[in-house]
Amino acid sequence: MNILLLGYGKMGRIIGEIAEERGHQISGKINIDNRSDLDQIDPDSVDVAIEFSQPDAAVENISWAIKRGIPVVSGTTGWLDQKPQIEELTLKHNTAFFYASNFSVGVNIFFKVNKFLASLMKDQAEYKVSMEEIHHTEKKDAPSGTAITLAEGIIAENPRVDHWKLEEDSDKNEQTIPITSKRIDPAPGTHIIKYKSEIDDIEIAHTAHSRKGFAQGAVLVAEWIKAKKGILSMDDFLSF
């Protein structure tokens, strides 16, 4: 399979290494320094594009591929206010778009555990939920996309909360999930959900030890999505 890498930072490099180890070819490696090289790439030479760039480049990168009928696997966060336009573009050009805030199988199991715990806690009004996420200092957006997905999972299961905010912006409303974002090297990603009461605390956490789990997941999805169409997610891939 021929894979185009849209974004060639640390994640892009690891994705490229894993893809080549699995027998795939890299059709191109695009980053901020060689963005103009996209015009030289033959779309027919690309089976799938894997997009891990920056929030300010994601929409342009994804749109370029979709308009040429190339399926896209994207893990860039911080641009999702424009995701409906990308989904509309995907359907218009009859290709496939796959977005996940996190491609780690372990994290996606953690998403399920988080939602299950939230459903158990919905009637426990004495517990106040909060979240902490820790990433490396190169991560541009806060909170992380994974943290937002976790918060959305809690909101879906617990009617006592209806929105999230960064802790420094939090209005301390009981219906708010406060999220603390820390940027500490070399942390690849830690997410902690806490339910606190006067009597006790309940915590669940996921800690990534490297970026390899994210990168391997992205390559596995790229292999899976090649012949598919439409708007797809990790639930489709993992068949939860």
Q: Residue 172: what pLDDT?
A: 67
d(CA 146, CA 205): 12
**Among 24, 93, 115, 139, the one annotated catalytic:** 139
Q: Residue 188: what pLDDT?
A: 85
Q: Residue 171: what pLDDT?
A: 58
| 50-72 residue pLDDT tens | 999 999 999 999 999 999 999 99
Nearest to 90 by CA among 229, 235, 236, 233: 229
Are 145 and 233 spatial neighbours (Cβ–Cβ below 8 Å)? no
Q: What does each C-alpha distance from 210 to 9, 44, 104, 114, 190 come to in angstroms?
A: 15, 34, 11, 22, 11
pTM of the model: 0.78
> Residue 119 — φ and ψ, nearest 5°?
-70, -35
The residues, ordered by sequence, that sit 6+ positions from 46 with a Cβ below 8 Å of its Cβ are 2, 3, 4, 27, 28, 65, 68, 70
Answer positive or negative: Cα dihedral of 165, 204, 104, 92: negative
135 labelled catalytic: yes
Are 81 and 56 spatial neighbours (Cβ–Cβ below 8 Å)? no
**Among 10, 83, 135, 194, the one annotated catalytic:** 135
Which segments of the chain have a pLDDT < 50?
none
139 labelled catalytic: yes
Are 129 and 157 spatial neighbours (Cβ–Cβ below 8 Å)? no
On average, the pLDDT of the chain sits at 93
Q: Residue 167: what pLDDT?
A: 83
The residues, ordered by sequence, that sit 6+ positions from 60 with a Cβ below 8 Å of its Cβ are none
Are 99 and 189 spatial neighbours (Cβ–Cβ below 8 Å)? no
End-to-end Cα, the chain, rounded Å: 26
What are the structure tokens assigned to 138, written together?
């190169």
Structural domains of the chain, ranges and CATH numbers in brackets: 2-103+212-238 (3.40.50.720), 105-207 (3.30.360.10)
The CA-CA-CA angle for residues 142, 210, 19, to 5°, reads 105
Are 201 and 153 spatial neighbours (Cβ–Cβ below 8 Å)? no
d(CA 40, CA 51): 18
